[in-house]
Structure 1
Amino acid sequence: MRRPLAAIALFAAIGWSAGSLAEQPPALSPAKTAAAANLVDIRTLVPDIAEDIKYAGHDNFVGVPVDGYRAPKCFLLRPVAEALARVEHELRAQHLRLKLWDCYRPARAVANFVRWAHDLNDQRTKPRHYPALDKSKLLDGYIATVSGHSRGSTADLTVERCATDGTRCEPLDMGTDFDFFDVRAHTDAPGITPQQRANRQLLRGAMERGGFRNYPMEWWHYTFTPEPTPHTIYDVPVQ
């Protein structure tokens, strides 16, 4: 079966070779809108959920807004958004809340990350995001050429503790910032304090009860299981 030229071009842009295509890479959805992809804005379910969508602005490891992010919004496949809303409501009973940094990620954004990773002259964000790592190593486990985020089932997030009236929320101390490329960001990393470990375990426990699985190299990264579309990626802009 022949692949559409647009799909082949996209996979080439994000690092798939002809050999990789022969190994059945994920299919690129033809959906052109969020509705067609069954992607929903989490705020249609939890209107006041805390968000700081990093890739829509400059405060991220690339240092500029990323391709495909036209608005600071969190989209997820509907079953995943509904599961995340349940986690949020459970946490609120404990005066805790989620804070979202990234959710569905367009395939073109992943291609943007890969281009940036290959540009070894751009070291602007090294002090904050990868101080102990050579940039040439970022594609070895930190930046994927095809991201699970593009399947619409993964979110990057943390937990905030709020006052009893639901105001004045402050993020729990997790030991590193978001997108900190270092072993200290591994969920079970040695060297973090007992409180930081407890905070990570609190997040993991809440997310696992909601049906989400953690990526061990990133304490903030959770994927709903089973994924609704495990072999499909999307390139619908976030807008």
Structure 2
Amino acid sequence: MKRLLYFLFAVLLISLPSFSWAQFLTVSAAASLTDAFKELGVKFEAAHPDVTVRFNFAASGVLLQQIRQGAPVDVFASADEPTVSRGIEAGVLDGSTRRDFAANALVLIVPAGQASSVKRLSDLSTPEVRRIAIGKIPTVPVGRYTQEALEGAKLWTPLEPKFVQADSVRQVLDYVARGEAEAGFVYRTDAVLMPNDVRIVEVVSGHTPVTYPVVTVSASREQATAKAFIDYLVSPPAQAILKRYGFSQS
């Protein structure tokens, strides 16, 4: 009996190091990164067998609020620069690890299965367009890009009564895809995911370039792994995956 107990104890001691090396990496990322990051997470785990990547996808501003409130996050990837800058200024993000890893384009979309009078930005002023889906300005970067573009075109104030504000760029996409809005503003990478439901009318200009910065969270206990994930995002294999999903290099 004693020999059996010694044997079991020895097995336990041998197995302990493997448990101690198990790591979870929590990545909070902009909603527009959902599909690409799910694939990138699988590839990163394959190269780091002791790491499990957990994702939290939402609007960039919402994710920063969660981090500021103490959410246990290791890496933050935003769809805009100002959100990351606010986090760095607040001390919750480590500015020394900040990297830009992707870029995108703002597009105007309409439902694919319906006849639409919208051929260009100026057509949004016509009576046929009653609802225009946009991201919420305080928390959803695509909403701020939209505001910049429409203000530059002198259309923001005239169109404001038509706006239906969404909690994320994916919600904007859903509103238009379901025909609950006659038009909406999303990223090109989101629009191409639903070619049978939405149609791109115009690539919109007149706004700040859409770039994606990534940074480690200051309170992260997995700093080394978090930095390794950021390094992976800017590597050629990861960039090839992002390109396949429609992102361009920043």
The structure richer in strand per residue is 2
TM-score normalised over the length of structure 2: 0.22
The structure richer in helix per residue is 2
